Structure 1
Amino acid sequence: MNLKELGMEIIPRHVAIIMDGNGRWAKLREKPRVFGHRKGVERAKEASEFALEVGIEVLSLYAFSTENWARPKEEVEFLMALLEDYLDKELPTMVEKGIRFHPIGRIHELPESTQKKVLETARATEKNDKLILNLALNYGGRAELVDTIRSLAQKVLEGSLQPQEVQEKLVEEYLYTQGQPPPDLLIRTSGEYRISNFLLWQMAYTEFYFTPTLWPDFDRAEFLKALLDYQKRERRFGGVGD
């Protein structure tokens, strides 16, 4: 299986990935969970590079959900430190390769040092235009919709917006992914069959690809396999197929 098999004319514009299975991968190797998270970061970097190579415009990675605060304190602290280290090391590469880092989620609730690093990286890459890398941090699809509703309600309260003016297009202007195409393809690793509160509004017509492969094993060949599967599908968007 190689890139020559890929139809470059039907590459999805936006791919979203639920990166699942780090803990199970580590457990299978009788290692601590943090070992799996480190390997998972390597795969996230590889996925970004592959997306850039094949011409994907937007890559959304689900890194830390609003529910993940329930994990052991030591694991959460490790994940935040790992994120900061990743951004430190990858910033030069992002700048060089034209990757725009775009955090989505309630960033203001992250630890102060993590917030600072996340926002610094976003500012340093905001003019890059080869690939938008959405990293979902303290993200929840329902939380995103609540934040959107609050913003619109405030506009109505101020008198600058009438309730009847609220249409789908306007709602999309207040989402974390404002101005981006919706995901064409969602990939979920580790054999789970659910979307786990990820991009709920945006995935109305997204194609789903589920694989038993654990995230630390999800390499370029696995990503290519997902894209080839996507290219065999007929997208109808509510219409009727041939």
Structure 2
Amino acid sequence: MRRNEGRGPLYRLYISRLRRRMPATVPHHVAMMIDGNRRWARQLGFDSAAHGHRAGAAKMHEFLRWCDDLGIQVVSLYLLSNDNLRKRDSRELDDLIDIIAELARELSHEPDWRVQHVGRSDDLPPALAEVLHEVTARTRSHTGLHVNLAVGYGGRSEIVDAVRSIIAKHDEQGGSLEELAASLTPEQIGEHLYTGGQADPDLVIRTSGEQRLSDFLLWQSAHSEFYFVEALGPDLREVDFLRAIRDFATRDRRFGQ
């Protein structure tokens, strides 16, 4: 069953108290893996997963506002993987593509939010690729919340694409393979990722109780903290988010030391 949304006065009072007790330092970059949309729709008796995906998209818009209000500067949303493109039912995939396009347009109209597509455009239906290209271009100069939309995304593919880009650039400059091998560094690979120039995620959140990375930001999350929420995607509450931020603040981040 769907959880109680908790919109009553006691819930609002608790949220207000949590906000006042938030740590002074919050994550710079939060990555969100929204999961459980199909289960949510099935549990509520809907005949189509599209109801769950639409509710999940609305929740992600709300989630981004929570992040913006708290001063988080970058949020990455995992919306559609390369595996989804290959394995999802065609009707469900068509609905999901329309929902993602609608969400991207909505986000691009938020005041000063910068929306960026991260993923392979060539693998996407042309109409969706065009929408993502358009919102990325239109919001490129915005300086507010930076929203990465991982669509047609795969972490392994991203690393392959980064290495190919490095090789191509090196070849253009006339360098040898020996020189490339000697000069290649993790920092260089990082610069050629889809998120090149951005800070790595400090915190990765996943809904629905699943505890997997699912090919999301494999390179960037090497030193990230993880937080798993039992709620299905559309049922995520602000209190769940604030608890994740508070939990993050208590962790001793060692960055491999």
Is the CA contact 1:141–1:198 (under 8 Å) kept in the aligned structure 2?
A: yes
Deviates more, 1:129-138 or 1:152-161: 152-161
Cα separation, 2, equivalents of 1:108 and 1:3: 42
Of residues 245, 248, 254 in structure 2, which corresponds to 1:227? 245
Confirm whether residue 167 of structure 1 aligns to residue 181 of structure 2.
no
Other-structure match for 1:184: 202
Unaligned runs of 5+ in 2: 1-13
Give 1 or 2 for the bigger CA radius of gyration: 2
Q: Contact between 2:107 and 2:115, CA under 8 Å: does it hold in 1?
A: no
Contact 1:56/1:131 (<8 A) preserved? yes
**Structure 1 residue 63, shift from structure 2 partner:** 0.2
Residue pairs, 1:1-242, within 5 angstroms: 1=14, 2-8=18-24, 10-31=25-46, 32-69=48-85, 70-93=87-110, 96=111, 98-161=112-175, 162-163=179-180, 164-239=182-257
SS at match of 1:59: strand
Determine if contact 2:205/2:227 at 8 Å carries over to the other structure.
yes
Asked if the contact 1:46/1:219 (under 8 Å) is kept, the reply is no
Provide TM-score, normalisation by structure 1: 0.93
Deviates more, 1:215-224 or 1:180-189: 215-224
Question: Once the two structures are superposed, what CA deviation does each residue of 1:57-92 show, in whole Å capped at 9, x if it has no partner?
Answer: 110010000000211101111111112222333432
How many pairs are equivalent? 235
Aligned equivalents of 1:87 and 1:105: distance in 2? Answer: 14
Identity of aligned residues (%): 37
Residue type of the alignment partner of 2:34? M
**Structure 1 stretch displaced more, 182-191 or 108-117:** 108-117
Partner letter of residue 192 of structure 1? Answer: E
What does the per-residue CA deviation read over 1:111-145, in whole Å, with 9 as the maximum and x for residues that have no partner?
11111111111111111111110010000000001
SS at match of 1:155: helix
CA-CA distance at 1:212 after TM superposition: 1.1
Counterpart Cα distance in 2 of 1:26 and 1:54? 30
Any gaps of 5 or more consecutive residues in structure 1?
none
- Give the CA RMSD over aligned residues: 1.3
Q: Report the Cα offset of residue 173 of structure 1.
A: 1.0
Which structure 1 residue ranges, 4+ long, deviate > 6 Å from structure 2? none
Q: TM-score, normalised by structure 2?
A: 0.88
Deviations 1:28-82 (A, max 9, x none): 1111211111100111101111111111111001000000021110111111111
Q: CA separation in 1, counterparts of 2:103 and 2:207?
A: 21
- Indicate how the Cα distance of structure 1 residues 130 and 167 shifts in structure 2: closer, same or farther if over 3 A, else same: same
Distance 2:52 2:151 in 1: 18
Q: How far apart, CA to CA, are the structure 2 residues paired with 1:5 and 1:150?
A: 46
